[in-house]
Amino acid sequence: MDPVLQLENVESGYGEVQVLWGISLEVARENFTAIIGTNGAGKTTTLRTIMGSVRAWKGRVLFHGEDVTRLSPHAKANRGLVLVPEGRQLFPDMSVEENLEMGGYSRRARKREKQNLERVYELFPRLKERRKQKSSTLSGGEQQMLALGRGLMQEPEVLMIDELSLGLAPVLAQQLFLTLGKLRREGLTIVLVEQNVHLALAISDYTYVFAEGRINIRGDSDEVARMDEVRRAYLGL
């Protein structure tokens, strides 16, 4: 395993409420890592703590072995650590293309903005068709494509995605998962927090199962999918 991203005994939370309790995990280079668990298990907080929008109380976040725990989200994005947040968080009064251009602001991505835009339109032809429309007029699936495309405009080395399929029809969720699979095969390192456990386990290489702010289970995704505890709790089997 060649870890590009590591968490070492990370604790964090909101105000005086602790959410994460000693989280340690590794994300292998060019692998697809899934984080699953019940609502409130600490999955989203983990991604926010990695990015720095939630402060780590204890422990370290390492990127390529460098301690980046205290860096700003902007500084981390400049290094290639990118988060597509839950809820999409688009600019509703901006066009599709303007939203994508906002993703290319970082020093890392600025030089290749045109090529990155063409790449996003190649992955999501529907966005190209609607490039002049306001993002608020898009369907839920199109908005999720746009949020993902905006993340890709930042030229991520590690792309973290929070709840890709939330609120989407199954067919649209499957299409987006196929796109992630393509990006993974092209060498992008992906970390996905996902409520659709079936799809997450099917497409990922490695899975962490969270429970009450701790990692309860970890392992290769195909092995995790066969565990009786996971089958009963998350797969309805």
Q: Mean pLDDT for each 10-residue chunk of the chain (237 residues)?
A: 92 97 97 94 97 97 97 94 89 94 80 91 96 94 94 95 90 92 96 94 96 96 95 78
**What does the pLDDT read at residue 70?**
96
**Which residues are within 8 A (CB) of 209 and not within 5 positions of it... i.e. 6 or more apart?**
36, 37, 215, 216, 217, 218, 224, 230, 234
Structure confidence at residue 1 (pLDDT): 65
pLDDT of residue 216: 95
Stated pTM of the model: 0.94
| Residue linked to tokens 């509703």 | 92
State how far the alpha carbon of 36 is from the alpha carbons of 99, 126, 211, in Å: 29, 29, 9
* pLDDT, position 97: 96
The domain defined by 1-80+157-237 folds into: Rossmann fold (3.40.50)
DSSP letters of 75-104?
HHHHHTEEEE-TT----TTSBHHHHHHHHT
Measure the CA–CA gap between 9 and 21, rounded to whole angstroms.
8
Domain ranges of the chain: 1-80+157-237, 86-154
